[in-house]
Amino acid sequence: MNSQDIPSSAMRASALLDELTALRAQILDDVPERLAMLTAGQQTADPAVVNLIHYLLLRRNDIRPLQRRLMALGLSSLGRLEGRVLVTLDAVIAALAALAGRDVSGDPPMETDYFAGEARLAAAAETLMGPEPDGRRTRIMVTLPSEAADGPDLVLDLARAGMDVARINCAHDDVKAWTRMAGFVRAAAKVVGRDIAVLMDIAGPKIRTAEVVLPEKKARLQVGDRVRLVTQGKPRVCEAARFSACVSLPQIVTRLRIGDRLRYDDGKLEAVVESLSEGEAVVLVRKTKAGGTKLKEEKGINLPDTSLGLSPLTTKDEADLASVIVLADIIGYSFVSQPEDIDLLDAVLERLGQAGRKLGLIAKIEQPQAVSNLPALIVRARERGPFGVMIARGDLAAEIGFERLAEMQEEILWICEAASVPCIWATQVLEDMVKQGIPTRGEMTDAAMAARAECVMLNKGPAVVEAVSMLDRLLARMDGHVFKKTPTLRALSSWQ
């Protein structure tokens, strides 16, 4: 090939200009149909919803070859446009037109228009969880242990260490304990001079082990062991199934089929249903962690192959909500999987006479159906008031498999950013640090990745105050290096 055969920069830019202009036109042509699908035919002027639709339509395409050609011309690769789809396309189109020496209608977007999506997301996070903390963008949420109801000291220590949101898990304790915890949070907020939101997480139909029977006190489940699951009465063992557990919901047995998978305690063990009989099932252990897994009470069970048909609101949840609407700033909604689940919650709140300030809502994404329906869930929930999404990585991994979790948590972050919805990075963040006082290298890296979310959640544990303090410092440092998917190039001092 001689020099005359090499396309000039202007020719390359002109070809890219035509492709990008056609892509933009196709997105706009398809907006009405997708909008009707997500809003049940209702029109909306919500710019976040419109941008979400633009993003979904863009991501139907594989634009990787286009990205590389744009990069070779020194232009945006479109890789960080979640919160600003059309304005990014317009900015790149204007730059291509200049390189190609062609006229296009319209000027490049103004800087305020270009970053409007970031402003919407920041405002949504503040409305839901309170003002952005000093020195970092990402809030810190802490699950309060039962001991937090015993006195004000622990909550005050957490607030001083950097806690921005206090989570009360309604699956544990009672109204008296919740009331004391919420009161201590309000008092601590006054002492430290900043807002601390109270999130009350209603339990939902969580399937858990109840009473268990082991062949001996320290026995652990190993590959090849069998466990008998029963719905009523005492756990029952036999020679073939030396382990047994009662389960919290009868549907776990009545809906199971032979061959269905079962995952226990956030995936620490995987088994398969081997046999079924009236009121019980026997499962065969296929995978477990090194050294085996202890069968304990109050541990979660996931059934990725089984359709349970459960409502996300239980009778207990409806009773708990009467207290939640008095004590909380935000409701945590478990097992939400479709837009109608939002309507179900609002109907209960209306019956309870909830009025005045609009409680925030956080939908916990922990099932495959919730992932598939996430755009429709977001569109419905944004209509009702302050809204956020929690990536409940423990249950989600148990449902979709560990292999897909890393990929899926990224996609959820992208969808939420496109829709200006705050996102909470949850489950086992700094788990060893919280429980043992020393973090692992892997969990420090995971916590650093959490800086791309609007909030990160820590679970309870003996060293949780120290973990909050460490996370506060880590998130502040990461703020200087990255915003969402965008590296931010502060001056480096390590090599000066």
At 183-227, the pLDDT tens digits run: 999 999 999 999 999 999 999 988 899 999 999 989 999 999 999
Q: pTM for the full model?
A: 0.92
Q: For residues 484 and 494, what is the distance between their CA atoms, to the nearest angstrom?
A: 24
At 84 the pLDDT is 97
More confident residue, 183 or 401: 183
Q: Mean pLDDT across the stretch 152-181?
A: 97
- pLDDT (0 to 100) of residue 355: 54
- Look at domain 120-205+311-485 and name its CATH class: alpha beta
User: 391 - beta bridge partners?
Assistant: 365, 425
Domain with CATH 3.20.20.60 in the chain: 120-205+311-485
Q: What is residue 44's predicted lDDT score, i.e. its pLDDT?
A: 72
Residue 89: closest CA among 121, 64, 60, 67: 67
Check whether 362 has a pLDDT greater than 90. yes
Q: Percent of the chain having pLDDT more than 70? A: 98
What's residue 45's pLDDT? 76
pLDDT surpasses 90 at 180: yes
Q: pLDDT tier at 41 (50, 70, 90 boundaries)? A: low
pLDDT surpassing 90 at residue 296: yes
Q: What is the pLDDT of residue 19?
A: 96
Q: Give residue 5's pLDDT band: very low, low, confident or very high (50, 70, 90).
A: low
Q: Find all residues with CB under 8 Å of 119, minimum gap 6, and list them.
A: none
Average pLDDT over residues 13-33: 95
Q: Taking each helix axis from N to C terminus, what angle separates 441-449 and 464-479, rounded to the nearest 10 degrees?
A: 50
pLDDT at 1: 47
CB burial string 421-433: b at 16+ within 10 A, e below: bbbbbbbbbbbbb
Least confident range of 20-24, 145-149, 354-358: 354-358
Percent of the chain scoring above 90 in pLDDT: 77
Q: What is the pLDDT of the chain when averaged over all its residues?
A: 92
**Mean pLDDT across 286-314:** 91
What pLDDT is recorded for position 388? 98
Distance CA 191, CA 130 (A): 16
Taking domain 209-302, whether its CATH number is 2.40.33.10 is answered by: yes
The pLDDT confidence band at residue 357, using thresholds 50, 70 and 90, is low
For 311-344, the pLDDT digits (tens) are 899 999 999 999 999 999 999 999 999 999 999 9
Name the residue with tokens 């048909």.
309
Cα angle at 369 between 267 and 280, to 5 degrees? 55
Find the mean pLDDT for residues 103-123: 90
CB atoms within 10 A of CB 128: 25
pLDDT at residue 105 greater than cutoff 90: no
pLDDT above 80: residue 298: yes
CA dist 13 and 21 (Å) reads: 12
Q: Summarize the chain as % helix, strand, coil (round to 5).
A: 45, 15, 40
Evaluated on CA atoms 148, 150, 151, 154, the torsion sign reads negative
Q: Are 242 and 225 in contact (CB under 8 A)?
A: yes
Which of 370-396 are b and which e, b meaning 16 or more Cβ less than 10 Å from the residue's Cβ? bbebbbbbbbbbbebebbbbbbbbbbb
Domain with CATH 2.40.33.10 in the chain: 209-302
